[in-house]
Amino acid sequence: MAKLKKAARTKTASRKPAAKSAEAASHNLISTAQQIWAAGIGALARAQGEGTDMFDALVKKGMSLEAQTRKLANGKVDVVRASVEDRVENVREKATDTWDRMEKVFEDRVQRALTRLGVPTREDLAGLNKRVEALTAELRKQNGKAPAAKKAAVPVKKAAKKAVKKAGVAKKAGKAVLPKAPTPRAPKA
């Protein structure tokens, strides 16, 4: 039993230094936590005090950077705008030239097709009109009568329209028919 009491004393004696070390560690941990808490509150107080000044300084720096960026961007925009306008003008000129060439080709092809179909040109009709007028004047001289000039021009227009209609009918039929020149008629007395 004496051995048992001695073993119990040893266990208790060994527990005392462990309890003291646990208390010391706990006290040390609490002390460290309080220091961390105090440092956090100090940082918050400092940030609140200097935060306004720092915020104002950051706003000023941001405004100056924005002004520099806008100035640089506006310069670049003007250069790009001028470049785009030049390119658009070049494209517009090329498109106009191309359109003019296409119109000319189209007009030439239509003229050739009309010629193949035997449709008289404006010049042909003007020549026929002059010829009719000359023949009408000759008839007036021979008959001694002078009919109204408007009546002489009307049959020429009708004859020209008939020639165009005949060409259209011939085109539908697939035949090429040349229009006949109108025969001059003596004005009725």
**pLDDT truncated to tens, each residue of the chain (189 aa)?**
566 666 656 555 555 666 777 788 888 888 888 888 888 888 878 777 777 777 788 888 888 888 888 888 887 888 888 888 999 999 999 999 999 999 999 999 998 988 898 888 888 899 999 999 999 999 999 987 655 555 544 555 565 566 556 555 555 555 555 556 566 665 565
Residue 9: its pLDDT value, please? 63
pTM exceeds cut of 0.85: no
Residue 62: its pLDDT value, please? 87
Residue 71: its pLDDT value, please? 83
Residue 129 token pair: 């009109």
Residue 168: its pLDDT value, please? 57
Long-range CB contacts (< 8 A, 24+ apart) of 163-168?
163/119, 163/120, 164/119, 164/120, 167/117, 167/118, 167/119
Query: CA 134, CA 67: separation in Å to the nearest integer?
Result: 85
Residue 137: its pLDDT value, please? 93
Residue 73: its pLDDT value, please? 80
- Amino acid of residue 142: Q
Three-state DSSP state, 175: coil
Residue whose C-alpha is closest to residue 155's, from 124, 186, 189: 186
